Structure 1
Amino acid sequence: MNGTRQRGRRRRNGRRGQTLLELLVATSIIAITLVPALRMMRDSVRVGRRVEAGTAMSTICVDRLEQYLALSCGSWQNVNITGDCAAQGYPQLKWQVFANDGAVFGGTPNRLMVIYSSVWEDRNNNNLWESSSEPRVQFATKLAHVVAYEHEAAGS
């Protein structure tokens, strides 16, 4: 009897590795938890890209608005200009600035100018914004016609 007990004890104490059943259970648990974890990672990457694009669009839109606001202060010219943001590393983003003092647009001739700045993601590369499929950011401001602005721009 002593020999049998020792042999059994050796087996229990000297046991190495896992049984096949334990390996299958561990693999199943990992597989079950891995699928939702990968889905969450994919969704978080997608949300991160949207946030980055939205931030870039807002920043570029405000930049263009301020740039043409400064130019319009000195020159008081109606403007309708478009461009892309390839130089900033976003070739898919397009921008448009529209400045006009016409009453139709909300301005007052020679007194109050309206400036619109838009940036959109041009998904089909046609250089036109399509409301159904392309996200857009738009800012607007108004500028009063002040002679002091023109003197400052002229350097006098």
Structure 2
Amino acid sequence: MKKLQSIALAALVAGVFLAPSGVQAQQNGVTRTDLQRHDLSAQGREAIQVRVDLAPGVAFGKHTHPGEEVIYLLEGELEYQIEDKLPVTLKAGDVLFIPAGTVHSARNPGNVKGSELATYIVEKGKPLVTLVKQHADKASH
């Protein structure tokens, strides 16, 4: 059993060091690939571009960003839930703007990979993604 654990650990470590630069798996079925990051002329702000791929049927839960997010859908379709508004479904070529600090989520309702180019204009030094804790609904009676 220890030999199997050692092999699994070695494979995990090798995967971390041999994975393409800039690729970060956030959860099963979601891949974030960092494309570029640059300081802006506005003090304390930076621009970050990330390719986000969601496998069919996969969702990325409620979260926020420390700045604006500008989305361009590259392929497939993705559905966005922004705060308590009706969901919006984007197809390749569609765009979406999400204001700073706005709670939102995304899911792939299709049967092919959905991919977006996300451009963030954010406060430098803050986490790019902050997950929003889900609260259990409380019954009133």
Task: Report which structure shows greater RCO (CA 8 Å, sep ≥6).
Answer: 2
Shared fold, TM over 0.5: no
Name the TM tier (shorter chain): under 0.3
Bigger helix fraction: 1
TM-score, with structure 2 as normaliser:
0.26
TM-score under structure 1 length normalisation = 0.24
More strand by share: 2
